[in-house]
Structure 1
């Protein structure tokens, strides 16, 4: 939500600060880049068991980057936390699915809330709802969220036993592992391993590229929606925010269908012992098909002469696409690299944030140059080029896992 809530405020901010829309759009891009870089530094550390006042354009943009950076760990550690609680059987997919829906729905809720706030109070009020929501969530997490890492729980238990018994030899497995880690190895795990996994593991690289594309398309929607609904259908900012509800509803319906898929297909396969990670590519195939269909539908029904409900319905299909792609790919990566899950998710965050943060800077110019129809067709064409990936991984994934030194067999 924090990444996109500033989107409706961009024109007002640019006018108030006498700057360009491209510079103002950095308020989105820098936040996204901040939460892309944050997990790279902060998330892999969780695999170890012991572990601005000036009111100016530059100052505001720096603070947006820092807000994304310090808020970033949950994006990568959230999946690992769910794995700690539910394990990696059938229940993990449903739990990760609910978490993933919130991650996908958040950027959609941002313009909805921000649109009303900016219309009522101006661009500064695009930030206040984020502050209130963040404060409430922080209080909840600080007081009610326990430690979930098994290695850390045992390490703390061993520390209490050493204090009570005076026996310094009482150590957990995590303690022994941590003592064997040299600081240079810790630095490697934190700064290098996510890039190493991306560059040396084709499964990680191509799935990250796919998610990066989807993220870029998502943030293009933040630029396309005002052009379509305000520019062609004459909505105000609050009404344009309401148009995003189509994505929320589409995502909620997809979440329900995805849970049914897990209960009817995934869980029995686990029980039978016949499960393989490549089955995660089945929903990715459907999501990959829905992505270009959505883009062509949205673009070519965005004329003023066509009722506004058509592009709204197209956006709900986009929700199906982004949700299935995210859930299928993240589950697939988690099951392939359970030992390095936080690092894999961090590498995914970096790549998708890099692409997603760049798209707002040129998407408006792209749509103005190519028209809404041309810009959406270009994005749909890229989606078509990426479509073979899940089919390739479905058939050749076992060979790639067998050839990898880091993936599970």
Structure 2
């Protein structure tokens, strides 16, 4: 989930474009070249850029009709929703898997953990590949593999095959939680990107909530394998829409294609695009995408603590897939499908958070005006301050209303502020990491994704033992206490973040 979103802001795309600009030596060579001005060049280009291609207005993805742009956003968002759904739809299949594949429930729970771990590792590869080959080919190939490798999951001969392909499908589908957000920023100007970005951002959060809701209904009424058969049908529909509706939107790749076309049609090999000057191999890019995020975690305490905060929250969210059946089936006698419906409270909270986006947009506009259009990164932490308060309130409320004598609706209502707080916190931290670590924004988001996925993979594995030993009140209160310990972070960084950035090896100093 993450992640997400690591390419989802224009700042990251701008960073990528700057990295692919020609070097100083190349500029000197171009200055000495005797070239004629080409008609396809931007009017303001100088002689040294005479053969550097630019997109015409008709070729700019931002100039697409508004209806077409929203159709693309919806297809991408629903594809991301399907990916996140696949991570949690296994939550009610464990008993059937343990019975039919001759294993124990604890091993069956790995179906969630391995998929989520694949989601965390995938962006380390898909991110660099998308910078070189574009977003669209990554979408189509990854989603095709996601679809193909789900078949062994839906029809597994044994538990080993099932678990291996759960990891592989998570790895293949990760592009929609890391690369896809960049397409949204490709399509809309900065002043108009907030609303479509909010639609995309909520998809990876609603997916894990939709998973147990659907699988609860399926597993109670038919064989557990139908969960993955339904997933296959959804995947095929989204793959078809991706091929038919979503075009390439990544500007450096569009420029590279245009330059290649001009070279072919004119016979003049002088036409070039920034990606043609790229001197970094794809293998080096992948190695850097793996190395730099972990270097950031090791040497930057500010980024590490923010990453731990979001990782803790995602871990708690995935732990809920094991905890809610204990709370609602054990305490209130819910059926499997009724327990799936109990996740609606978290989903409602997330939708409320997205509904607050216009209010935050107005607040951000006032902040930009106060700082003459250049607010410090810490200004975005106000959203996290609100979320940091709401999340532990929701968990404490949930903890002390899990008694059998309390009406079942009360703990479900308690999960609403927790869902709202999660979205506020993630939005705030993602924005801060991209802005405060602008030179390595992609790596900052990759480090966050890796840590989040690790927590989300591990937490469900000890949920049963923790709730057996501490009880529903004690275990949930423990989780609430952990989120309370992390809640001061946005307040502290809001006050001293500027000073901490001056000491950082990676953060911007302004």
TM over 0.5: yes
Alignment of 1:4-403 (within 5 A): 4-48=88-132, 55-86=157-188, 89-176=190-277, 178=278, 180-182=279-281, 185-262=284-361, 264-270=362-368, 272-403=372-503
The answer on whether the counterparts of 2:89 and 2:214 sit within 8 Å (CA) in structure 1 is yes
- CA shift, 1:35, in A, is 0.8
After superposition, what is the alpha-carbon deviation per residue over 1:321-361, rounded to whole angstroms, capped at 9, x for unaligned? 11111111112222233454333322222110111011111
Change (3 A) 1:84 1:405: farther
- CA shift, 1:198, in A, is 2.9
Note the residue ranges of structure 1 that are not aligned, 5 or more in a row: none
- CA shift, 1:183, in A, is 5.7
- Between the aligned partners of 2:444 and 2:244, the Cα distance in structure 1 is 29
The answer on whether the counterparts of 1:36 and 1:353 sit within 8 Å (CA) in structure 2 is yes
- Between the aligned partners of 1:26 and 1:164, the Cα distance in structure 2 is 54
Change (3 A) 1:96 1:400: farther
Q: Which moved more, 1:61-70 or 1:276-285?
A: 276-285
Q: CA RMSD in A?
A: 2.1
- CA shift, 1:81, in A, is 2.8
- CA shift, 1:164, in A, is 1.3
- Between the aligned partners of 1:374 and 1:105, the Cα distance in structure 2 is 27
Change (3 A) 1:175 1:337: farther
Equivalenced residues, count: 405
- Between the aligned partners of 1:198 and 1:170, the Cα distance in structure 2 is 41
Change (3 A) 1:373 1:54: closer
Q: Which moved more, 1:275-284 or 1:28-37?
A: 275-284
Q: Which moved more, 1:358-367 or 1:270-279?
A: 270-279
- CA shift, 1:68, in A, is 0.5
DSSP-derived class of the 2:331 partner: coil
TM, length-normalised to structure 1 = 0.93
- CA shift, 1:174, in A, is 2.5
- CA shift, 1:404, in A, is 4.4
User: Which has the greater radius of gyration?
Assistant: 2
Q: Which moved more, 1:357-366 or 1:201-210?
A: 201-210
The answer on whether the counterparts of 1:44 and 1:342 sit within 8 Å (CA) in structure 2 is no
Note the residue ranges of structure 2 that are not aligned, 5 or more in a row: 1-84, 136-151
DSSP-derived class of the 1:2 partner: helix
TM, length-normalised to structure 2 = 0.75
- Between the aligned partners of 2:498 and 2:133, the Cα distance in structure 1 is 31
Higher relative contact order (CA 8 A, sep 6+): 1
